[in-house]
Amino acid sequence: MIRIAVDAVGGDFFPQNPVQGAIEAVAENSELKIILVGPEDVCRKELERQGYTGDQIDVFHAPDIIAMDDAPAQAVKSKPQASIPVGLTLHAKKQCDGFVSAGNTGALLAASAFILGRLDGVIRPTISSVYPTTKGLGLMVDVGANLEVKPEMLYQFALMGEVYAREIMGIDTPRVGLLNVGEEEEKGTEVYRKAHELLKLHPRFVGNIEGRDILLGEADVYVCDGFTGNLLLKFGESIPAALQDLIQATIVRQNLPPESIKPVLGILKQALSPFDYQSVGGVPFLGVNGVSLVGHGGSSPLAIKNMIFNAARMVTHRVNDKIVSYLN
């Protein structure tokens, strides 16, 4: 039995989507126990509304709610009874095996680091994200937890990302690349040059990756500081909508019949499906002493379900044990 706590009041569509995701998850996996964390009446009403009558979902009362736009550190401090700190405290006390939320990423990161602590040997926990490429999904790490980094941190990001890519994303021998402004090892800032030196010892290090090689999937794990990673992550997320605008404008400009856009957008939508983060199901904080995943604020029930499954997989694959023994 794996017990995953789910933030029932996180994201843009609570309690509906977290609760529905939880119901769908237990329907598919009888070995799963879900603890919905949130105001008890809200959770119970929603379970009832969705007609759930089974015994795989419990509710744990957390009266407060951290809003998506609350200042993270302050929210965690001033709302200790909110679902995020309550759920993570349950986890720290071993009353569950992991916690997932589609809520305030910053608050979740701050609370995860504070309540769960770091894994042995980890300098700084990191947040990574799956990243679409023409060769399949890669992992970018860090995407915003550590805006300024040291070479040793980048090195650890690589190792932690590699374990996650292998154990959870199913990439047998993940290639590790260091984002940089040129291929040559002397390129980049001093931090990146030193990180390159450290990574050269890594058997699956494929060297520096330039901006033009990211989408082409020249690596599986893209290592960078959180400032760069955050900009690249959000930039990538914006591509489908931007393209749709550009195509729409082209069709108007060229005076093409409006119905001619349909097949184009249809194929484009298919082609861009890897950019649809909804189905991916959350990304992990790596390096914390526990299992803590965060999903997009707009997470669908499917995304919540997949995030729950990813959390469960992190438990069964003992990802944290593997990270600790890899780092030390």
Interacting residues toward its own copies by CB under 8 A: 133-134, 144, 147-148, 179, 181, 188-189, 192, 210-216, 226-228, 230-239, 241-243, 245-247, 249-251, 253-254, 256, 260-261, 263-264, 267-268, 270-272, 274
Identify which of residues 199 and 233 has a Cβ nearer to its own copies in the complex. 233
Shortest distance (Å) from residue 231 CB to its own copies = 4
Identify which of residues 24 and 213 has a Cβ nearer to its own copies in the complex. 213
Q: How far apart are CA 317 and CA 328, in angstroms?
A: 19
Shortest distance (Å) from residue 207 CB to its own copies = 15
Shortest distance (Å) from residue 3 CB to its own copies = 33
Identify which of residues 27 and 147 has a Cβ nearer to its own copies in the complex. 147
Q: How far apart are CA 195 and CA 253, in angstroms?
A: 48
Identify which of residues 264 and 327 has a Cβ nearer to its own copies in the complex. 264
Shortest distance (Å) from residue 271 CB to its own copies = 4
Identify which of residues 27 and 242 has a Cβ nearer to its own copies in the complex. 242
Identify which of residues 124 and 317 has a Cβ nearer to its own copies in the complex. 124
What the block records as the tokens of 29 is: 């996996």
Shortest distance (Å) from residue 122 CB to its own copies = 21
Identify which of residues 60 and 277 has a Cβ nearer to its own copies in the complex. 277
* Sign, CA torsion 5/6/9/11: positive
**Quick one: which of 176, 110, 132, 140 has its CA closest to 326?**
176
**Quick one: which of 47, 49, 48 has its CA closest to 22?**
47
Is the Cβ–Cβ distance between 139 and 164 less than 8 Å?
yes
Shortest distance (Å) from residue 262 CB to its own copies = 11
Is the Cβ–Cβ distance between 211 and 235 less than 8 Å?
no
Shortest distance (Å) from residue 251 CB to its own copies = 7
Q: How far apart are CA 140 and CA 252, in angstroms?
A: 37
- Residue 197's Cα: distance from chain center in Å? 28
Identify which of residues 27 and 181 has a Cβ nearer to its own copies in the complex. 181
Shortest distance (Å) from residue 284 CB to its own copies = 19
